């Protein structure tokens, strides 16, 4: 389940901890974990409020509100929520690193991503209890730009931000494009050549050979995964670890290494407590070095959410087996079926095998409104 029963608010922005707005904290021991009993008590108090003002006050204070899931007696509002591997890691952390930190494909999607990146976190608003859980997913995906920590910058001076108080206080402040890391043209060309020439296993997807150009369109989640776990590890060490590499380039490689190591662990189809601990180590190191290299660039909620994947790996097992991929593939299949002027469709009952696209189209054939 990708939706969180605790509505995102400016004070408490996710399900697992009482962590408030400091997304930069990397010490897990400083986070006070939520527990299901406490959340149920908070939900009960929320339901007992008879005014919108009262519910708003409790929601701001506790970061939770009622959803239909809380009526299930066996539902644990903390641990029965799975962080979506596809949206959080692939289309969240990896996409941000490629497009916002490295500046590759930063213009893909016709500017949509820029709008999302600058969007401020919404104030909590009590909604009717019948609201669909889709709204929870929308809230989970919201990303905001808060002021970041300065770290120990190793960036060239021209890339270090000089933020004033007005920029820190303005939720609509947009990150200066000068803060984006500029790939040298020959580096990007080497990546493109690797994409085009490397021999692939049948399950791997080859990203666009013109990576970095707007014409190839938006990358898919699987393409982000293959790019960061297959193609980039083949070529970037040859670029950033040569005898002529600068300290800055070696720092970029170290940061990239920890990102790939943590991604490989969370994308695996098997896991263990040892692997979960290794994930926490590598991902924490990735965020530490990210804060140093890109000093002053704030983390996004997705970066903080991913800190909990170690706990989730120990509780649920391999998160790739619980990912959004099957559901997204089904959505894509159903959206591809021609339904114009065809109103009747009967699919197999729940519990039977998933219908194929051909089966669904056959059911549609000959029907009309």
Indicate whether 230 and 308 sit together in one domain.
Answer: yes
Cα(21)–Cα(176) distance, integer angstroms: 23
Q: Which among 23, 316, 239 has a CA at the least distance from the CA of 144?
A: 23
38: in domain? no
**Does residue 100 belong to any structural domain of this protein?**
no
Q: How many domains does the chain have?
A: 2
Q: What Cα–Cα distance (Å) separates residue 14 from each residue in 11, 132, 168, 335?
A: 9, 18, 23, 31
Residue with tokens 């049948």: 202
The span from the CA of 263 to the CA of 288, in Å, is 16
Whether 223 and 350 share a structural domain: no
- The answer on 251 and 205 residing in a single domain is yes
What's the whole-number mean pLDDT along residues 310-322? 92
At 280-303, the pLDDT tens digits run 999 999 999 999 998 888 889 899
Q: How confident is the model at residue 361 (pLDDT cuts 50, 70, 90)?
A: low
- pLDDT computed for residue 356 by the predictor: 59
228 within some domain: yes
Q: Do both 198 and 266 map to the same domain? A: yes
In this predicted structure, what is the pLDDT of residue 180? 53
Residue 68: half-sphere exposure toward Cβ, Cα within 13 Å? 8
Mean pLDDT of the residues in the chain? 74
Confidence of residue 97 (pLDDT cuts 50, 70, 90): very high
Looking up tokens 């020959």 gives 186
Q: For residue 33, list its beta bridge partners.
A: 17
Do residues 317 and 346 share a domain?
A: no
Distance CA(11)–CA(360), nearest Å, equals 46
The DSSP bridge partners found for residue 17 are 33
284 and 160 in a common domain: yes
Residue 232: which of 106, 94, 88, 131 has the closest Cα?
A: 94
Same-domain pairing of 369 and 247? no
Tell me the C-alpha distance between 253 and 261, whole Å: 12
Give per-residue pLDDT as tens, 183-215. Answer: 788 899 999 999 999 998 888 888 998 898 888
Q: Judge if 279 and 347 occupy the same domain.
A: no
Q: Is the pLDDT of residue 11 over 80?
A: no
Distance, CA of 169 to chain centre: 25
Domain membership of residue 304 (yes or no) is yes
Q: Which residues pair with 350 in a beta bridge?
A: 352
Q: What pLDDT does 250 receive?
A: 94
Q: What are 362's two structure tokens?
A: 């056959």
Beta carbons within 10 angstroms of residue 183's beta carbon: 16
Percentage of the chain modeled with pLDDT above 70: 64
* Whether pTM exceeds 0.85: no
Q: Is residue 172 part of a domain?
A: yes
SS3 readout for 53-81? HHHHHHHHHHCCCCCHHHHCCCCCCCCCC
> 3-class DSSP state for residue 224?
helix
Q: Are 304 and 351 part of one and the same domain? A: no
135 alpha-carbon distance from chain centroid:
17
Same domain, 317 and 344: no
Tell me whether residue 115 is in a domain: no
Per-residue tokens: 1: 């389940």
Position 258 confidence tier, pLDDT thresholds 50, 70, 90? very high
Give the closest residue to 218 by CA, choosing from 330, 99, 301: 99
Question: Does residue 275 sit in the same domain as residue 358?
Answer: no
Residue 323: is its pLDDT beyond 80? yes
pLDDT digits (tens, 9 = 90+) for 31-55: 677 888 888 899 999 999 999 999 9
Cβ-based burial of 132 (10 A; exposed 0-12, middle 13-18, buried ≥19): exposed
| pLDDT tens digits, one per residue of 104-136 | 877 655 444 344 443 433 333 334 433 444 444
Q: Is residue 39 part of a domain?
A: no
Its domain, for residue 363, covers: 339-369
Assigned domain for 306 exists: yes
Same domain, yes or no: 360 and 293? no
């Amino acid at each position: 389940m990708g939706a969180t029963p605790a509505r995102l608010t400016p004070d408490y922005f996710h399900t697992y901890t009482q962590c408030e707005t400091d997304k930069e904290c990397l010490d897990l021991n400083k986070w006070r974990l939520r527990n299901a009993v406490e959340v149920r008590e908070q939900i009960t108090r929320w339901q007992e409020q008879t005014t919108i003002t009262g519910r708003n006050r409790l929601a701001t204070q506790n970061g939770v509100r009622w959803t239909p899931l809380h009526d299930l007696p066996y539902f644990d509002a903390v641990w029965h929520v799975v962080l979506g591997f596809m949206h959080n890691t692939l289309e969240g952390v990896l996409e941000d690193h490629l497009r916002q930190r490295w500046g590759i494909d930063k213009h893909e999607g016709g500017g949509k991503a820029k709008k999302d990146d600058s969007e401020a976190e919404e104030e909590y608003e009590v909604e009717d209890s019948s609201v669909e859980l889709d709204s929870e997913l929308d809230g989970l995906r919201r990303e905001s730009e808060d002021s970041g920590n300065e770290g120990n910058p190793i960036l060239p001076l021209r890339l270090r931000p000089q933020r004033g108080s007005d920029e820190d206080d303005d939720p609509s402040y947009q990150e200066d494009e000068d803060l984006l890391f500029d790939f040298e043209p020959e580096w990007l060309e080497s990546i493109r050549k690797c994409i085009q020439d490397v021999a692939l296993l049948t399950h791997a997807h080859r990203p666009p050979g013109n990576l970095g150009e707007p014409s190839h369109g938006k990358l898919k989640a699987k393409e982000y995964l293959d790019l960061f776990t297959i193609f980039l590890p083949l070529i970037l060490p040859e670029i950033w670890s040569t005898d002529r590499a600068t300290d800055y380039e070696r720092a970029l490689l170290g940061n990239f290494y920890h990102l790939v190591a943590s991604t490989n662990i969370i994308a695996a189809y098997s896991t263990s407590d040892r692997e979960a601990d290794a994930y926490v180590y590598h991902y924490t190191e990735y965020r530490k070095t990210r804060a140093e290299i890109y000093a002053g660039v704030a983390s996004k909620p997705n970066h903080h959410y991913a800190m909990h994947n170690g706990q989730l790996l120990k509780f649920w097992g391999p998160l790739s087996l619980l990912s959004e991929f099957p559901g997204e593939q089904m959505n894509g299949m159903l959206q591809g079926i021609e339904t114009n002027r065809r109103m009747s469709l009967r699919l197999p009952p729940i519990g039977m095998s998933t219908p194929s696209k051909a089966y669904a189209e056959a059911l549609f054939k000959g029907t009309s409104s």
